[in-house]
Amino acid sequence: MRIVSIDPGLGVTGFSVLETRNKKIKLLAYGTIKSPPSFSLPNRLNYLFEETNKILKNFSPESFAIEDSFLSKNFKSAMLLGQARGALILSAAQSNLPVFEYAPRKVKMSVCGNGAASKEQVGFMVLKILKLDKLIKPYDISDAIAVGICYFNQET
């Protein structure tokens, strides 16, 4: 089973491509999608959409996992994140992929055993679970990988 997992953001979106065989998770690819801040909002959303389409086309996943929105005191930030998530989810929907959404606390609980874990703790656990040689940064990427690990823990 191969999935693309996403830590959404308008400025920086982390992604990973994970595959599981015999209950072992293998990291196939990872990176960030950075929409140019000079672009208008519609163009930034389109950029996220198109870059996600490229990832989905290149890796042919069977599922798409994305971190759900969190409650924010800043209404404008929450709206922008929601719009970014919409562009990313639309890409998956147009590729006929099932979309799985996980709350940030659920992802942290699944990976670290603590729903209030820090980004550093999540990055460290990703390193240990996947037996990597070094921490993957920025944390947008390790957060995306954690979403994928959560998917495998919850859905398989």
Q: What does the angle CA 103 – CA 144 – CA 50 come to, to the nearest 5 degrees? A: 105
Predicted pLDDT at 156: 77
Q: Kindly list the distances between the CA atom of residue 42 and the CA atoms of 38, 39, 45, 83, 115, in Å, as whole numbers in the listed order.
A: 12, 8, 5, 10, 33
Predicted pLDDT at 72: 65
**Which one of 50, 51, 101, 140 is the catalytic residue?**
140
| Distance, CA of 76 to CA of 91 (rounded, Å) | 23
Catalytic, 7? Answer yes
**Which one of 7, 19, 51, 143 is the catalytic residue?**
7
* Superfamily in which the 2-155 domain is placed by CATH: Ribonuclease H-like superfamily/Ribonuclease H (3.30.420.10)
Per residue of the chain (156 residues), give pLDDT as tens. Answer: 999 999 999 999 999 999 998 889 999 999 999 999 999 999 999 999 999 999 999 999 999 999 998 766 778 888 999 999 999 999 999 999 999 999 999 999 999 999 999 999 999 999 999 999 999 999 999 999 999 999 999 987
Catalytic, 68? Answer no
Predicted pLDDT at 78: 86
Structure pTM?
Answer: 0.96
**Which one of 19, 51, 67, 143 is the catalytic residue?**
67
Contacts of 34 (CB under 8 A, 6+ apart): 11, 12, 13
Residues 54 and 38 sit within 8 Å (Cβ to Cβ): no
